[in-house]
Amino acid sequence: MIPKVKYLPPSQGKISPISDGIALALSAYCGGNPISYLLSTVSGFANSTAYELFFRLGIPFDVQSFTSEECEAIEKEIHRFATAYHNDLFAPCSDGKDFYLFPYTYNGQSYTSHPNFNCAVDELCSEKDRLTRLKTHGKRIATAIKSAETKAERLIKNGYLKLEECKNADQFRLYGDILTCNLGKVKKGATKALLFDYENGQEISIPLDGKLSPVENAQAFYKKYAKQKRTIEFVKVQLEEQKELLEFPK
């Protein structure tokens, strides 16, 4: 970081895994959690590596003290672990979540072997990148699907409201037919007309626009009827389409 100044790693208050003195430090262990004690004593160790070390040496994970032979064996194996890149332990591998200098056997995990450590790192990172991209695209697709569902539900709701508004379309046709048959009985400027309904055999009151002539009122009723019939046909098709969209398997 600074020119001509030798870099020294920050002190952790722990023993280096490639230095002597580990056996002596471990001999002071007098109960508790041996894994935690090892991690607090030797630097550069992960929890899983400590378990693997004990497993390979046949030392129980809950041992309450170390014999002198076990201390010496642990120190020797730690040195071997720390220099795995240069000894017979070296066997680059990955488990889909992490990469290792050699397989860990304590947990029965299966590993994929690689010709070198770079391949192990590259394959794992590439797979993580692929999964990240897949997850990102998956979220986008899920968002798009949710948006489409929301839109479909809104269109369906509005469609039923439109159908409700147009449910009396035939009434406008009937008004137009009755007016057309009784043009001579309706005075211009009238706001309603009491006329005989031939379909139902009774008189009905027809509301009129006083600004329009009887013919224009009849034409206005026919236009309303035609518009609402077109709306009904369009809405029914749209409802079927939106229902099929919601029922489409995800």
Per DSSP, what are the bridge partners of residue 112?
Answer: 94
pLDDT, residue 224, reads 94
Contacts of residues 68-76 at CB distance under 8 Å and 24 or more positions apart, as own/partner, are: 68/23, 68/27, 70/26, 71/22, 71/23, 71/24, 71/26, 71/27, 72/23, 74/22, 74/23, 74/26, 74/38, 75/20, 75/22, 75/23, 75/26
Digits of tens for pLDDT over the chain (250 positions)?
788 888 877 777 889 998 889 999 999 999 999 999 999 999 988 899 999 999 999 999 999 999 999 999 999 999 999 999 899 999 998 887 888 899 999 988 898 888 888 888 888 888 788 888 888 888 888 888 889 889 999 999 999 999 999 998 999 999 999 999 998 889 888 999 999 888 888 899 999 999 999 999 999 999 999 999 999 999 999 999 998 888 877 6
Show the 3-state SS of the chain.
Answer: CCCCCCCCCCCCCCECCCCCCHHHHHCCCCCCCHHHHHHHHECCCCHHHHHHHHHHHCCCCCCCCCCHHHHHHHHHHHHHHHCHHHCCCCCCEECCCCEECCCCCCCCCCCEECCCHHHHHHHHHHHHHHHHHHHHHHHHHHHHHHHHHHHHHHHHHHHHHHHHHCCCHHHHHHHHHHHHHCHHHCCCCCCEEEEEECCCCEEEEEECCCCCCHHHHHHHHHHHHHHHHHHHHHHHHHHHHHHHHHHCCC
pLDDT, residue 250, reads 61
Write down the pTM of the prediction.
0.52
pLDDT, residue 126, reads 85
pLDDT, residue 172, reads 93
pLDDT, residue 232, reads 93
Q: How far apart are CA 179 and CA 204, in angstroms?
A: 11
